[in-house]
Amino acid sequence: MNDSPGCPLTDVAATYMPRLSEIPSEPGLAAAVDQHAAAVREALIPARRGPGNRTVRREELADYVLGFTDWLSRIDWTEPSGHDFATLRLTAVCWLIREHDLLDA
């Protein structure tokens, strides 16, 4: 999937993965990204899967990214120089990609 053209995880990682390097120097950013990652994880992993199966699945995260970026397109969002809701959410997606090794799957 990561080799296919237009893979949403590859595209998001290429753009927003570098923002993860800002986290160690900005504790507030670390907290915000952590909260966004938790929100995405909760949206993707229903409680019925139980505590033993809390892995983020690549296909589910890709679908989430497609929906989220589609919404951003519909509202004509443009990336700011700082951090807004969308950049924090996309940075959190990159954190999940990295933590769950989703580009190498």
Confidence band of 23 (pLDDT split at 50, 70, 90) = very high
List strand residue ranges (DSSP E) for the chain, in order.
none
Cα four-point dihedral sign 67, 95, 36, 80: negative
Q: What is the pLDDT of residue 85?
A: 97
Residue 48 has pLDDT above 60, yes or no: no
CA dist 47 and 49 (Å) reads 5
Q: pLDDT tens digits for 65-76? A: 999 999 999 999
